[in-house]
Structure 1
Amino acid sequence: MLEKIDSPADLKGLDRDELDLLAREIRDVLVVTCSRNGGHLAPNLGVVELTLALHRVFDAPADKIVWDVSHQTYVHKLLTGRRDRFSTLRQGGGISGFAMRAESPYDAFGAGHASTSVSAALGMAIARDRRGGSERVVAILGDGALTGGLAYEALNNAGQLQSNLIVVLNDNEMSIAPNVGSIASYLSVLRSKPLVNYAREKAKDVLHHLPFGGTARKAIASAEVAAVRFVAPAEKTAIIFEELGFRYLGPFDGHNLETVEAALRAAAGIEGPVLVHVRTVKGKGYEPAERDARTFHGCGAFDIENGKLEIKEGARPTFSDAFARGLIDLAERDERVIAITAAMPDGTKLSAFARRFPNRYFDVGIAEAHAVCFAAGAAAAGLRPVCAIYSTFLQRAYDQIVHDVAVQGLPVIFALDRAGVVGDDGPTHMGLYDIAYLRTLPNFTILAPRCEEEMAPMLAFALECEGPVAIRYPRGSTSGRDVDPPAPIERGKSELLREGSGVAVFALGNSVDVAMDAYRLLESGEYGDLRAALPTIYSARFVAPLDREALVACARSHELLITLEEHSLAGGFGSAVLEALADAGVSLPIERIGVGETFLQADSQAHQRRAVGLDARSLARRIAARLVGATAS
């Protein structure tokens, strides 16, 4: 059946049996593709019927469907002309795991971060109104996005403007981990309101006596919607949405296609903003994902038969693992230490901390700005908060970093996970800008460990600092080939790893691994006999304060200085080095290796690094060519 669907128009004439078959086939494709490529399996399994209903009721791309986070768009992509390329999902040169305007006219708005859909959809609705258009605009909000403040700002504004807008709340009780906070509890009450459920079931019971057939089923679905619309305001179950200016419909079974279609058609006929509340099951239809939706929220490759994730033999602990161990050790020694995450306990590896110190662990939901200000308040009152947030998500809290933490000089520790290239999640998730937006702030310490073993000492150092500290570290682990044990951490001091001549390499964080591998290649003679002219290798350790003394001394004794970083070249570590040497009046050729003026697309981390020259062979060739004019391949 799926092979016959080239566009949403092909869905309009399908009967119930055909739609049921199509839903099963879609789930099969999702499981098979994610078992090979990895991806956001559980969220997409939960929106199969909802997506079918959206595309049967509305006429995309004329009608605008805006997906929050957009990690739930796999079904949408299968139905909108990308079926034949779906096997390339999240692969180099393939289709994205998120909505991308450049990929399809059906992707009305791109996303990757949470809670943006209502704001974007409202902007589209206002633009439609100004030009006298009539298209419907629908925002799909859910999978935890309602824990983010931006969503409430938009709902508040939409209620005030009263433009025609439909918001579908996909309530699966989870984001990545289970939802937290008062709103999650409130939605739980909505799901269990007895009078609403009674009205729904009574309407269905009465109408089941109608002659069986498509007409009767549609009547049942429409009656269910009407019953809930009549009862819900009286029960005041939806008071928060009604008070914001929305008409509330629901909650409905998000896996009953006819009911969801009826609810959406009812919403389309109401003037002003409408919120349709549907309940879905994350992981629906694949037992391992239903049983463990957290693991299958965003997973790697796995065995379809048993749902076991593929684990590479001999895999080293990741930087995130090292952070988690180091933080637990720190908390054992200092009871002031607390841990904060924004709905990412598993990704940041704080789940172990939560089990060990449940009263010192705080998951604030998808609310990074609140997380940072909350941490600032805790620090002002004498605690030592550690905010574990992905680099890309910390962007969402920049004013709090400046206004609430930095200006007041508060001792908040930021653990910036996924700093650098992140692989198959693509441009919205790259951690390539944190140095640029943090190093401009006075008295803000920024460090980067070169290996997992350096994480705990850096955390201990950060705890002794009187002001804010950011420790940035990448997704994954190092190669493990760098056998030099880390030297003690000294504020603003780099670490000399190899002393050579001619060329000096200052590498930051995990880029030290690249520099050391390049050194070994040069030492091996593969690029000519360079044993008398091997490069000097430094682990920079600090971006702020920078080791100006070592930089100036190195610049005066070498012919070329190379900086290496997994970060944007604009405003990054290399830029800081250039500024420091210019201020010192030192002039020599400097080559900066990092990410240029481009948004890296989804691919493997290894391919992304090679694309920008952040790999050992590229660096070795560059150094060899400089030293002896070699043209090694």
Structure 2
Amino acid sequence: MLDRVSTPADLKIMSDKELRLLADELRAEMVSAVSETGGHLGAGLGVVELTVALHAVFDTPKDHLIWDVSHQTYPHKILTGRRDRIRTLRQKGGLSGFTKRSESPYDPFGAAHSSTSISAALGFAVARDLGGAPEHGIGDAIAVIGDGSMSAGMAFEAMNNAGHLKKRMIVILNDNEMSIAPPVGALSSYLSQLYTGAPFQEFKAAAKGAVSLLPGPFQEGAKRAREMLKHMTVGGTMFEQLGFSYLGPIDGHDLEQLLPVLRMVRDRATGPMLIHVITQKGKGYGPAEAARDKGHGVGKFDVVTGTQAKSIPNAPSYTSVFAKSLLEQAQQDPKICAVTAAMPDGTGLNLFAERYPSRCFDVGIAEQHGVTFAAALAAGGMKPFCAMYSTFLQRGYDQVVHDVAIQRLPVRFAIDRAGLVGADGATHAGSFDIAFLANLPGFVVMAAADEAELCHMVATAAAYDDGPIAFRFPRGEGIGCDLPQNPAPLDIGKGRIVQKGSQVAILSFGTRLGEVRIAAETLAAQGIVPTIADARFAKPLDREMILKLAADHEVLITIEEGAIGGFGSHVAQLLAEEAVFDRGLKYRSMVLPDSFIDHASPADMYREAKLSAQDIHDKVLQTLGIASLKVRA
């Protein structure tokens, strides 16, 4: 059946029985593809039947299908003309692991963060009704959002607005009891009650029937009683109060239920409609169904056994070093607590939660709330570590400014996935946190050059009570250095000299220090022995060290794994204020380029960013006016 599908239009000539066979083949194709590429497995397996049904019933791409987060879209990609490239997923030059507007007209809205789909669907619905651009030809707007994504405030902001505008749009609530980690919060409990209790249609029918039997004078009061009954017992009341017509829950793996419901909604809906669909993450593939996280993110694996191919690590990951260091600090200080936003495993806080469950808080996919929650914990005398990926911390930036920085509250931000992260691509790159934190008054911003430095920075953050402090570290393995037995707090705003040289000084902020060392070896073979310094702090700067480097060298080069406006810009500001440039210093700043870098291996991404050892070597020689040589890989 799958061989007969070039575009979703091919599904419309299939019988319902053939669509069921197609779903089975689609699931097998997805498992086969991801076994070769790695990627997000469980989420896509859970929406195979839903994907088939949506494309069979609606007229995509005219009908705009918007996938929240979109890590579940591999089946969608296979059905929308990308099957021949599905085995290039997340590889350099291949398909993105998420929806991407430039990749296909069937991806009307790009996404890789959660809770944006309802806002986007409403925007498309309004654009449709206002005429929009004729070439867009928007039909229906359909948002597919997971239950974990519904815990974010943005989803309810959009539903509130949609209920007010009353535009025809469709929201599919894909309720699989999982986002990445098991769900938390009152919404999860509410959804569970909906599908564990009696079907809401029965309550509606009973209430309506009882009222019709009463004499006329009593019916008005009975109607109010019926509404009270609905509020107590009828599923979906919360969504109906927001202005949505609610339908469900229905079995998201049963096409005999899905297809008639979607056809009815397509033909009859007039305003905002929410369809509550129950699915199972990892559905149909035993190893994924059995996994704790339902096979959320996997490497290459054996299809028969589900066993993932894993390389033997040369060193512990930065995340695990952070997690263990925080446990050591928490053992000494009962005021230390931890906050994460639906990423306990990804940030290493699952270990903290096991040891100190009453001091660890997973707030769900709600970074804004998480930051303000941490701010109040700090104001209440606790020592909160707010552990988030750099790319997700962006979502709570307003709270970082207003609730943390302005109030000078000592929230400790542990920023994981700093820099370029590889296969997840531009949407998950930690490119901007240096710039958006170091410009805030009173903030301390650190970056670990290696895992030993990370241990010291965790200790520094634990001991610092004068205001907000942040430390960043990358994804993946460390360099394999010895870890300190008793990590000591660093002197705030003080860097370190790693190697003394002359003529050229290279000032590194973060883990590019390893590449600097490689470049320095080749430079030394050419008779150039640079001074190497580890800044440690982007704010406050080590003014004394930087000004001495500038005074003692002809060339000063800064390097960081962050965007324009970060560490290098602060150094340039200092040098300008001190009139250092008037004395003839040649200063260069190596940063991420002013562009978004597509998915590839981290090494390839850093080469594209011109931040590899070869690029550092070339920058030194170019600044000195000397021809370049090849640096070893």
TM-score of the aligned structures, taking structure 1 as reference length:
0.91
SS of the residue corresponding to residue 559 of structure 1 reads: strand
Partner AA of 1:287 in structure 2: G
Match of 2:27 in 1: 27
Distance 1:245 1:260 in 2: 23
Match of 1:595, SS state, is: coil
Distance in 1 (CA, whole Å) between partners of 2:158 and 2:60 is 23
Among 580, 588, 607, the alignment partner of 1:586 is 580
Contact 1:31 1:41 in 2 (8 A): yes
Cα separation, 2, equivalents of 1:414 and 1:427: 22
Name the stretch that deviates more: 621-630 or 360-369. 621-630
Q: Which residue of 2 aligns with 1:461?
A: 460
Equivalent in 539, 549, 557 of residue 554 of structure 1: 549
Equivalent pair of 1:482/1:513 in contact (CA under 8 Å): no
Matched residue SS, 1:579: helix
Show the counterpart of 2:220. none
**Does the alignment pair 1:165 with 2:165?**
no
Q: 2:539 aligns with which of 526, 541, 544?
A: 544
1:571 paired residue number: 565
State whether residues 501 and 536 of structure 1, in contact with CA within 8 Å, keep that contact through their aligned partners in structure 2.
yes
Deviation at 1:326?
A: 0.7
CA distance in 1, matches of 2:428, 2:182: 22
Amino acid paired to 2:258: V
Q: Which residue of the partner structure matches residue 216 of structure 1?
A: none
Structure 2 residue matching 1:12: 3-state secondary structure: helix
TM-score, normalised by the number of residues in structure 2 = 0.91
Q: Deviations over 1:50-107 (max 9, x none)?
A: 0011101110111111111111111111111111111111111111111111111111
> For residues 301 and 197 of structure 1, do their structure 2 counterparts lie closer, same or farther at Cα, with a shift above 3 Å needed?
farther
Q: 1:67 to 1:81 in 2, by over 3 A?
A: same
Matches within 5 A, 1:383-462: 383-462=382-461
Return the alpha-carbon distance in structure 1 between the equivalents of residues 420 and 294 of structure 2.
22
In 2, Cα distance between equivalents of 1:22 and 1:617? 50
Residue correspondence of structure 1 range 219-618 to structure 2 within 5 A: 235-268=233-266, 269-292=268-291, 294=293, 296-465=295-464, 466-480=466-480, 489-523=490-524, 525=525, 528=526, 530=527, 533-568=528-563, 570-587=564-581, 588-618=585-615
The verdict on how the C-alpha distance between 1:290 and 1:426 changes in structure 2, with shifts beyond 3 A counting, is: same
Contact 1:114 1:366 in 2 (8 A): yes
Task: Give the ranges of 4+ consecutive aligned residues of structure 1 lying more than 6 Å apart after TM superposition.
Answer: 197-200, 231-234, 481-488
Q: CA deviation at 1:630?
A: 3.4
Find the counterpart in structure 2 of residue 631 from structure 1.
Answer: 628
Aligned mates of 1:30, 1:21 — CA distance in 2: 14
* Cα distance change of structure 1 residues 347 and 391 upon mapping to structure 2, 3 Å threshold: same
- RMSD value over aligned CA atoms? 2.1
Unaligned stretches of 5+ residues in structure 1 = 201-230
More deviation, 623-632/167-176: 623-632
SS state of the match for residue 248, structure 1? strand
| Partner SS, residue 567 of structure 1 | coil
Contact 1:267–1:276, Cα closer than 8 Å, also in 2:
no
Q: Secondary structure at the match of 2:298?
A: coil
SS of residue paired to 2:507: strand
- Residue identity in the other structure for 2:3: E
Structure 1 residues 295, 452: closer, same or farther in 2, change over 3 A?
farther
Equivalent residues of 2:203, 2:230 under 8 A apart:
no
Aligned length: 596
The one-letter amino acid of 2:127's match is: A
Say whether residues 1:188 and 2:185 are aligned partners. no
1:402–1:423 distance in 2 versus 1, CA, 3 Å: same
CA deviation after TM superposition for structure 1 residue 127, in Å: 1.1
Q: Quick one: distance in 1 between partners of 2:53 and 2:249?
A: 16
Tell me how far apart the structure 1 counterparts of residues 24 and 523 of structure 2 sit (CA, whole Å): 55
Q: Distance in 2 between matches of 1:77 and 1:511?
A: 36
State which drifts further: 256-265 or 374-383: 256-265
Q: How far apart are 1:413 and its partner, in Å? A: 0.3
Provide, for residues 231-286 of structure 1, a one-character-per-residue CA deviation record: whole Å limited to 9, x for no partner. Answer: 98894211100111110000000001131121112222121111000000000111
Aligned-partner Cα distance in 2 for 1:603–1:29: 23
Q: Contact conserved, 2:230 with 2:237, CA < 8 A, in 1?
A: no
Query: Which range is displaced more, 324-333 or 458-467?
Result: 458-467
What do residues 384-437 of structure 1 show as CA deviations (whole Å, max 9, x unaligned)?
111000000111111110110000000000001001001111111110001111
Rounded to whole Å, the distance in 2 between the matches of 1:300 and 1:145 is: 24
Question: What is the alpha-carbon distance in structure 2 between the residues aligned to residue 131 and residue 111 of structure 1?
Answer: 25
The alpha-carbon distance between structure 1 residues 451 and 234, as it changes in their structure 2 partners (threshold 3 A), is: closer
| Separation (CA, whole Å) in 1 of partners of 2:483 and 2:607 | 23
Q: Please list every run of 5 or more consecutive structure 2 residues that lacks an aligned counterpart in the other structure.
A: 205-228
Whole-Å Cα distance in 1 between the matches of residues 387 and 104 of structure 2? 35
Partner of 1:217: none
Q: Distance in 1 between matches of 2:562 and 2:261?
A: 47
Q: Structure 1 pair 506/15, CA: closer, same or farther in 2 (3 Å)?
A: same
SS in 1 for 2:143: strand
State the distance in 2 between where 1:80 and 1:293 align. Answer: 31
Q: Distance in 1 between matches of 2:594 and 2:251?
A: 46
Q: Which moved more, 1:259-268 or 1:166-175?
A: 259-268
Q: Secondary structure at the match of 2:263?
A: helix
Counterpart residue number, 1:220: none
Read off the aligned partner of 1:565 and give its amino acid letter. Answer: E
Q: More displaced, 250-259 or 19-28?
A: 19-28
Q: Distance in 1 between matches of 2:245 and 2:280?
A: 24
Which sits farther off after the overlay, 490-499 or 289-298?
Answer: 289-298
| Partner AA of 2:280 in structure 1 | V
Q: Is the Cα contact below 8 Å between 1:254 and 1:280 reproduced in 2?
A: yes
For the 8 Å contact 2:452–2:484, the answer to whether it is kept is no
In the other structure, the counterpart of 2:218 is none
Alignment match, 1:62: 62
3-state DSSP class of the match of 2:81? coil
1:487 to 1:388, Cα distance in 2 relative to 1, 3 A: closer
C-alpha deviation, 1:624, in angstroms: 4.5
Residues 392, 431 of structure 1: 8 Å contact kept: yes
CA contact (8 A) 2:67 2:73 kept: yes
**Matched letter for residue 570 of structure 2:** A
Which has the higher mean CA deviation after the structures are superposed, 483-492 or 417-426?
A: 483-492
Closer/same/farther in 2, CA of residues 551 and 89 from structure 1, 3 Å limit:
same
**Structure 2 CA distance for aligned equivalents of residues 396 and 423 of structure 1:** 21
2:213 aligned residue? none
Specify the code of the residue in structure 2 equivalent to 1:454. Answer: E
CA contact (8 A) 2:325 2:458 kept: yes
The sequence identity of aligned pairs, in percent, is 49
> Equivalents in 1 of 2:391, 2:294: separation in Å?
21
Contact 2:44–2:74 (CA under 8 A) maintained in structure 1: yes
Looking at structure 2, the residues matched to 479 and 606 of structure 1 have their Cα atoms a distance apart, in angstroms, of 15
- 1:155 aligned residue: 159
- Displacement after TM superposition at 1:488 (Å): 6.5
Change (3 A) 1:244 1:361: same
Q: Say which is worse superposed, 51-60 or 18-27, in terms of deviation.
A: 18-27
Q: Structure 1: which amino acid aligns with 2:154?
A: L
| Structure 1 partner of 2:222 | none
Closer, same or farther in 2 for the Cα pair 1:488/1:554, shift >3 Å? farther
Assess if the C-alpha contact under 8 Å between 1:43 and 1:143 holds in 2: no
